[in-house]
Amino acid sequence: MRKLFVIAAFVLALGVGLATAGPAQFAKGNFFLTPQVGFGSWGGSIPFGVNAEYAISENIGIGCTVMAQFWSETGWKESWITLSAEANYHFVRMAADKIDLYVGAGLGYGIYSVSYSGLITTGASGSSGLTLEPILGGRYFLSPKVALSLRLIAPFLGGFTGFGATAGVTFKL
């Protein structure tokens, strides 16, 4: 239900944003920092992290994302930490000044760790390793320096977290 609400809010923001025209918010030389929380299809906790992106051209941004997820039950603890480098293509020619839609991909490394009653194992079940994640994302700017962010991510190489999304607040620095 929570995922449906986030997606519905994003679609509503997109519709409202498309009704206004003006200059794009994504432009060469801009730097964006987004603290975010995730919604995934696996795991017993909410992932959290940060995304950073630098606009190297009018349409291309490069950056990185760090996400972490920790969960435990009696006798065991698990963690999943991912660091990825990303490249995104931004659709800046839209007639909407408050919307920044993009597609991209991230290549990174995920570290899975599990501890059973004090016995620590890193890379259990072969879950640590390279990750490849296609990304579909968007930002809705509330002001010239602050935006709401939503990213849909579907890891298909490495990782075990399944399809997910992140939502956050972007600051243009």
3-class SS at 84? Answer: strand
**Residue 148 clears pLDDT 90, i.e. is over it:** yes
Cβ neighbours for 9, distance < 8 A, ≥ 6 positions apart? none
- Can you tell me the distance from the alpha carbon of 89 to that of 59, in angstroms, rounded to the nearest whole number? 6
38-65 pLDDT, tens per residue?
886 566 678 899 999 999 999 999 999 9
pLDDT, greater one: 24 or 139: 139
pLDDT, greater one: 97 or 106: 106
User: To which H or E segment does residue 151 belong?
Assistant: strand 146-153
Nearest to 109 by CA among 65, 71, 142: 65
User: Domain spanning 2-172 has what CATH number?
Assistant: 2.40.160.20
DSSP code of residue 157: B
- Can you tell me the distance from the alpha carbon of 36 to that of 114, in angstroms, rounded to the nearest whole number? 24
- Can you tell me the distance from the alpha carbon of 119 to that of 93, in angstroms, rounded to the nearest whole number? 54
User: What does the block give as tokens for 40?
Assistant: 């995934």
65-74 pLDDT, tens per residue?
999 888 887 7
- 12-to-7, 8, 56, 90, 172 alpha-carbon distances in Å: 9, 6, 29, 20, 22
Question: What are the domain boundaries of the chain?
Answer: 2-172
DSSP code of residue 13: H
Read off the pTM: 0.77
- 144-to-66, 164, 173 alpha-carbon distances in Å: 25, 28, 10
DSSP code of residue 123: S
In the prediction, which pLDDT does 122 show? Answer: 54
